[in-house]
Amino acid sequence: MTQIEARLAHDDVVRGQVLNLLRKGYSVKARLEGWFDPPEEINGFIPDIVARRGTATLIVEVKLGNDDWPKLFAFKRFVAQHHRTLLILAEALQRDEPEAELTSLRRFVERSRRTKLQVLDSTVS
């Protein structure tokens, strides 16, 4: 996958997650210029999506490359310090990856057929 293809795939996942979260009644801030306000920075990094519903907060980061870990570490620190906050790592799947990769997190994003989701940290009981 070229850098450009990776970025297009990343943006596709962000869009898919945003629409899904909206459908579920979340208010969303996302890095989709022209459509949503961008999320505020968290410990020095800006996540792809921050969604809120009631007192719950979801931080969704879509994996773009292998150098994401400082960002994820910063978000984990944030989640550890805040109640009812969930950090989700979303990853664009290659077309040949089996759908079985999708885990029980379907309850968050059932329709993301090409997206693998992983809860990295949570203060949601």
Binding site for another protein (CB under 8 A): 2-5, 7-8, 11-12, 15-16, 19-20, 22-23, 25, 32-35, 111
Closer of 82 and 111 to another protein (Cβ): 111
**Nearer to another protein among residue 25 and residue 98 (C-beta):** 25
Q: What is residue 32's three-state secondary structure?
A: coil
Residue type (1 letter), 115: T
**Contact assessment for residue 20 and residue 53, using Cβ atoms and an 8 Å cutoff:** no
CB nearer to another protein: give 25 or 54.
25
CB of 76 to another protein, least distance (A): 25
Widest Cα–Cα separation across the chain: 40
Distant-in-sequence, close-in-space partners of 2: CB < 8 Å, separation ≥ 6: none
